[in-house]
Amino acid sequence: MSNRILLVDDEQEMRKLLRVCLSPYSFVIDEASNGEEVLDKIITESYDLILLDIMMPELDGFEVLKTLREHLDNQIPVILLTALGDTERIIEGLKIGADDYIVKPFEPKELVARVESVLRRAKHSKSKLESFVVKSLSFQPKNYIVSYNNKAIPLTKKEFQIFYRLVSNKGRVYSRDHLLELEWGIEYEGDTRTVDTHVKNIREKLKGVGYENTIIETVWGIGYKVPEGTD
């Protein structure tokens, strides 16, 4: 099935250029000329990716992106279209939740490469959202739920994210510093004891529902792992 892409730019010539660049690659293309139109389409249509211009009158790309991430579809990939040298806007967009960006003017091959790359990552991430079972624990990534014997374990979102990362990468040792950076961001000013506290909470909550198996192992002096071969 062909991927559906929504092209968003208030300039008709830019939308036409984007369509010309992408049409040879069997994408199904739709267009929107303003932010309000994007939000209307997202409610009624399904898209695999949005190419979103930042600079639009009234409702700009940032406001559209914020609304998508906070209220509508937090999973749909978004590539921002931005002006040359607009570094601050690029950083702001990535913080809000953009998946990538491309600077205008661009080479058609670069546009296609970035689109295909983001679509591949999105497909991989989507597959990880499917429910699965590891060592009698049922994981529902889409809803941040782990259950045992059909009883939900009351993990916080952050606890789930740490646990899910370890389970999804069995055998890999994550240092406390690395987990802190991945789950809290490089700007977080807390220390690695935060990670230890969350892991301790996960273990206690597992025991609280009668789960006695050791699934998260401590790698002394380094961090944590879920052993390879755990299933």
Give the CATH architecture of domain 4-127.
Answer: 3-Layer(aba) Sandwich (3.40)
What is the b/e burial string over 62-87, where b = at least 16 CB atoms within 10 angstroms of the residue's CB? bebbebbbeeeeeebbbbbbbeeebe
Q: What is the mean pLDDT of the chain?
A: 87
Rounded to an integer, the average pLDDT of 5-17 is 95
Is the pLDDT at 210 greater than 90, yes or no? yes
CATH 3.40.50.620 assigned to domain 132-225? The reply is no
Rounded to an integer, the average pLDDT of 114-134 is 78
CB 25 within 8 A of CB 112: yes
Is the pLDDT at 126 greater than 70, yes or no? no
For residue 168, which of 124, 210, 208, 204 has the smallest C-alpha distance? 124
What residue ranges do the domains of the chain occupy?
A: 4-127, 132-225
Rg (CA), the chain: 21
Is the pLDDT at 229 greater than 90, yes or no? no
Rounded to 5°, angle at Cα 130 from 124 and 135: 115
Confirm whether 4-127 and 132-225 share one CATH topology. no
Tens of pLDDT, residues 152-181: 999 998 999 899 889 888 888 999 988 988
- What are the backbone dihedrals phi and psi of residue 96, each rounded to the nearest 5 degrees, phi first? -70, -30
The pTM (predicted TM-score) of the whole model is 0.58
